[in-house]
A and B are shown apart, each in its own frame.
Chain A
């Protein structure tokens, strides 16, 4: 049976209310919020949809079940759409990222041992100063023949991996040669820090805050500072879903857009934290989740909360237009990172995949094309190495010349 055949069989019947039932996969992270809110607060029903949300245990499962048609759409790591289109490490499937679910959800946290080993990390959320300390620790360890540092991310095709590598490389450290980057499933991150299996993590909320609360880690940096305004999780769909049911798909985009407005509103932060904290969603104390929904970070246990306006944006205007609107710049930037770290070698193929997967056309058709000048189609990471989407290859060539 083809995935499309399976899709027909699995296509949910109309619900008693006459609503079209869609099945969506998600991972237990705060940024699944728009899907949960869409289901539970009536935004889906208002568009004639009923959302059946399925919690998964790995990003690999989310991707496979999306590709096989078990899910109509899914909460997905942005780079996974490109890996899917190219068939990297698994089935090749024409995935699209027609909607960005959030920006700035991840943070880098260090174990207390590494925090103490580095001494002065330049205060909270200063990637340049923290990079100087990182480079010193890495050099000191190499000089005395100690084990290299180990950092954990959630999946090789994640922006967590890309943000972490960006920061490490900007400090003059080679993330493949000078230290180790391993994958640890989010629920095991705190344990891995306790056991000393990892020295640092880069993961989405609420897991860094959990490490702080458990007294085993310090939050050092936010992803929102490493790359302001980059796409984090996306709504992943197959091209066939969009082609076969364009109206249902458009209704889903509108539903998620309305739900995201609600998630973004700071007056809903406590209610959102309570919705997400439930055992069947994220399954973490709502008080910890509430830090992120209020956009504050508590970098160390018992420390003062710091307001972080760029942390976990769900909706609204950004530097380059509505934050949920996919941008070619997002896709091409992610593609450039995949090339930079040798996850793929065919630049033409991955840039082509990015142009299709992150095309704003579907979003514009469903929600209206905003007024945006082409000038802003750039990504400017913390070190100012500006990426212009009109010539992604030039940015990579610039790195080589360093």
Chain B
């Protein structure tokens, strides 16, 4: 049974990731999800929102701001603790590995929070995977373009066919134990230097 009465606050400067997380939480039946993508007036906003669970990106320096807030009981309406159960370090490990931290209203039962944290961890991990794949795809594209340019330069300067130019690049890369794109880069750089 999903607990739909909890107010969940997501503090993340990455709007795409926080949207993905919010969507996941809403699909799971959590209607009270609030996203803050800016740290402006953080304390006042948290006071107003009065969340049961705060999820924050570990890369956000405002974590230290929250720590103070949760230290001083008059700054929040209810006492807040970090994580639910001190003994459950695996949950904390998984969260820190995924790059997220959680603060939870004191006394909230583990069974109520665990699904939320699991969802957060899996969405953060999925987002990380996607960004990495996107980066890889981008750099692959850039490398292919570079190799095309190097081939063109060789074909023109040496008057050789495309296949032969590619063969030269590959042979050099193998001999020098370097990546094809690195050799292509040096050909392009050399061509630029030599005009």
Contacts and interface: CB of A to CB of B under 8 A. Distances in A.
Given A90-B82, A182-B43, A185-B61, A60 B96 contact: no
Interface residues of A, number: 29
B108 interface: no
B92 A91 contact: yes
Interface in A95-124: none
Interface in A1-58: 1-3, 6, 57-58
Interface in B57-92: 58-72, 81-83, 86, 89-90, 92
A85 interface: no
B135 interface: no
A91 B101 CA distance: 12
A91 B71 contact: no
A251 B69 CA distance: 39
A272 to B, nearest CB: 25
A89 B65 contact: no
Contacts of A156: 67-68, 71-72
A172 interface: no
A233 interface: no
Most chain B CB within a 10 A radius of its CB, from A65, A68, A343 = A68
A156 to B, nearest CB: 5
Contact of B60 (A58, A89, A91): A58
Contacts of B182: none
Nearest to B83: A91
Given A60-B101, A64-B96, A70-B96, A185 B90 contact: no
**Which label, helix, strand, loop or mixed, suits the secondary structure of the A interface?**
loop
A207 interface: no
Contacts of A57: 58-61, 63
Interface string B83-118: 100100110110010000100000000000000000
Contacts of A88: 71
Contact of B70 (A3, A89, A154, A182): A89
A306 interface: no
A87 interface: yes
A59 B86 CA distance: 20
Interface string A176-219: 00000011110110000000000000000000000000000000
Nearest to A89: B71
Interface in A51-92: 57-61, 64-65, 68, 70, 87-92
24 contacts: A1-B89, A57-B58, A57-B59, A57-B60, A57-B63, A58-B60, A58-B63, A64-B96, A64-B101, A68-B89, A70-B96, A89-B71, A89-B82, A91-B86, A91-B89, A154-B64, A155-B64, A155-B68, A156-B71, A156-B72, A184-B65, A185-B62, A185-B64, A185-B65
**Top 3 A-B pairs ranked by shortest CB distance?**
A185-B61, A183-B68, A58-B63
